[in-house]
């Protein structure tokens, strides 16, 4: 989250009143993330306090937003712990604030776990599998806007910026991923709405009777229709690695995959392409972070991510494809 567009208390209060969410009591800008402007907003209604997240979308359009917000509502109605978008009397989910599309969603309880144990990973695996299955009957469709087409287009802009070693890695990996995407195995992968950004800081936990309980999954604004395996790989590449080296953590990987497959077992095509998708997921976020590093946008409270991290993850996935065989043994 970040603050690119400053919102005054008066402006936020007017929107919250329109949604009949009570009187605004506090408004605080959020420093995490890099895509949108976000504020935490608290209101009082009938003597009770309610917490929300107010988001102004800096890149997404009015036409794109219903997919994300309707998906969140769809999942919430099926018991997945996600933020619920607030609607006005007409049922609208998207509004205008400071000339930009905006939305208000419920704020979930809990905190992010940045040093997860196998128990945390198992909870994420279970929830991700349930989320994939819950999205099967979602009626809207939108491609993954940060998919292969975006990787190719964005890498072309980045190549003059990076050093020769990085350029060689970018070009070779793109050639490999384009080859994979042209295969029949790739076409056979099961698909549906995916989160596409299920990192540690996008999941919340609470401590219940001394045990971690997953209380929320949020930030769906990279979601799209893509292979469930890609979503799995994105998640594995964050929850189940050593952050310093990018190497996989066997215990966390096994715990995560066992929990996921207990809800939705992987198909043969998915097992075959797990190594390639782990590489694809690392490439996607390396390109994204290079883009934000070399072509940054100005924002208050912005905390950009280090692109070198996913370069290391990609190198690990390329150099150690046998990792995927170890992961498969846990299924």
Q: Distance between CA 254 and CA 318 in Å, rounded?
A: 20
Cβ–Cβ under 8 Å, residues 231 and 195: yes
pLDDT of residue 183: 96
Cβ–Cβ under 8 Å, residues 185 and 288: no
Find the mean pLDDT for residues 115-129: 97
- Interior angle at CA 89, CA 86 and CA 95, nearest 5: 55
Q: Quick: pLDDT tens for 175-233.
A: 999 999 999 999 999 999 999 999 999 999 999 988 999 999 999 999 999 999 999 99
Q: Distance between CA 243 and CA 101 in Å, rounded?
A: 35
Backbone angles phi, psi at 208, to 5 degrees: -120, 115
Q: Distance between CA 219 and CA 205 in Å, rounded?
A: 15
Run of H or E including 302: none
Q: Quick: pLDDT tens for 44-56.
A: 999 999 999 999 9
Buried b (16+ CB within 10 A) or exposed e, 179-192: ebeeeeebeebebb
For domain 9-106, give the CATH number.
3.30.200.20
Fold of 118-329: Aminoglycoside 3'-phosphotransferase; Chain: A, domain 2 (3.90.1200)
Tokens 């370069």, residue located = 311
Find the mean pLDDT for residues 128-134: 98
pTM: 0.91
Can you give the residue ranges of every domain in the chain? 9-106, 118-329
Complete DSSP assignment for 209-273:
TTEEEEEEE---TT-EEEEHHHHHHHHHHHHTB-TTT--B-HHHHHHHHHHHHHHSPPPHHHHHH
DSSP 8-state assignment for residue 201: G
Q: Distance between CA 220 and CA 249 in Å, rounded?
A: 26
Contacts of 168 by beta carbon, 8 Å cutoff, 6+ apart: none
pLDDT of residue 140: 97
Q: Distance between CA 147 and CA 153 in Å, rounded?
A: 10
């Amino acid at each position: 989250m970040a603050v690119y567009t400053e919102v005054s208390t008066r402006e936020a209060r007017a929107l919250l009143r329109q949604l009949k969410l009570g009187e605004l009591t506090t408004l605080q800008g959020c420093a995490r993330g890099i895509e949108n402007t976000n504020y935490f907003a608290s209101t009082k209604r009938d003597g009770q306090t309610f917490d929300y997240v107010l988001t102004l979308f800096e890149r997404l359009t009015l036409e794109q937003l219903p997919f994300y917000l309707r998906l969140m509502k769809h999942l919430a109605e099926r018991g997945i712990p996600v933020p619920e978008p607030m609607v006005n009397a007409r049922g609208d989910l998207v509004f205008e604030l400071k000339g930009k599309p905006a939305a208000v969603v419920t704020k979930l309880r809990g905190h992010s776990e940045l040093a997860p144990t196998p128990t945390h990973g198992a909870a994420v695996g279970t929830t991700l599998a349930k989320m994939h299955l819950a999205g099967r009957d979602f009626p809207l469709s939108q491609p993954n806007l940060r998919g292969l087409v975006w990787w190719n287009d964005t890498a072309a802009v980045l190549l003059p910026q990076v050093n020769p070693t990085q350029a060689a890695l970018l070009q070779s990996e793109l050639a490999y991923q384009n080859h994979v995407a042209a295969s029949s195995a790739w076409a056979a992968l099961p698909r549906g709405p995916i989160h596409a950004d299920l990192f540690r800081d996008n999941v919340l936990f609470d401590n219940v009777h001394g045990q971690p309980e997953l209380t929320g999954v949020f930030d769906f604004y990279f979601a799209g229709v893509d292979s469930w395996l890609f979503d799995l790989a994105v998640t594995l590449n964050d929850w189940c690695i050593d952050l310093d080296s990018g190497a996989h953590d066997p215990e966390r990987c096994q715990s995560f995959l066992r929990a996921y497959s207990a809800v939705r077992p992987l198909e043969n095509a998915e097992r075959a392409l797990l190594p390639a998708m782990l590489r694809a997921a690392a490439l996607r976020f390396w390109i994204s972070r290079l883009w934000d590093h070399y072509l940054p946008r100005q924002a208050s409270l912005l905390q950009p991510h280090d692109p070198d991290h996913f370069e290391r993850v990609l190198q690990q996935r390329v150099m150690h494809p046998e990792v995927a065989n170890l992961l498969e043994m846990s299924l």
